Amino acid sequence: MIDLLYQVLLWFFVGAGALIVLLGLFGRKPGQFEITLTAGVLAGLMVQLIASIVLVLSGERAVISTLEFFGYLIVALLIPVAGAIWALAEKSKWSTVILGAASLTVAVMMVRMMQIWTGVSPLVGQ
């Protein structure tokens, strides 16, 4: 994993998720803004997928398990899609909260993916 890409995506996912959760808790129903932020999370994950494929094709491997890393990445790609489907099917403030929770879940999964790739916890260091 590219460290700078990881940092940028992690902060974006946390910020987007926290903002969407707050909007939902204040009673906002899902709209264009929330769906666009969620699409941004999905786009960030696609960039991570492409970067990871390029790294693996160039010979780099995850310290713990490359297969497990890609498993996490594929599941992370599904989470914002599922949240968006839920939000569009049930337009309530709670579906907005679900959209935010989806982005925060992806952020947690990014931390785990970095741990799988490097072999150390990115929160604790070496």
Residue 123 belongs to some domain of the structure: no
Contact status, residue 10 vs residue 109, Cβ threshold 8 Å: no
Q: What is the DSSP string of 15-73?
A: HHHHHHHHHHHTTPPP-HHHHHHHHHHHHHHHHHHHHHHHHHHTT---SS-HHHHHHHH
Residue 71 belongs to some domain of the structure: yes
Residue 126 belongs to some domain of the structure: no
pLDDT band, very low/low/confident/very high, at 21 (cuts 50, 70, 90): very high
pLDDT at 126: 53
Q: For residue 9, is pLDDT > 90?
A: yes
Mean pLDDT of the chain: 94
Average pLDDT over residues 19-31: 96
Q: For residue 33, is pLDDT > 80?
A: yes
Residue 124 belongs to some domain of the structure: no
Average pLDDT over residues 24-40: 95
Residue 60 belongs to some domain of the structure: yes
Residue range(s) defining the domain that contains residue 56: 3-118
pLDDT band, very low/low/confident/very high, at 121 (cuts 50, 70, 90): confident
Residue 52 belongs to some domain of the structure: yes
Residue 125 belongs to some domain of the structure: no
Residue 99 belongs to some domain of the structure: yes
Q: Report pLDDT digits (tens) over 39-87.
A: 999 999 999 999 999 999 999 999 999 999 999 999 999 999 999 999 9
Domain count, the chain: 1
Q: Whole-model pTM? A: 0.92
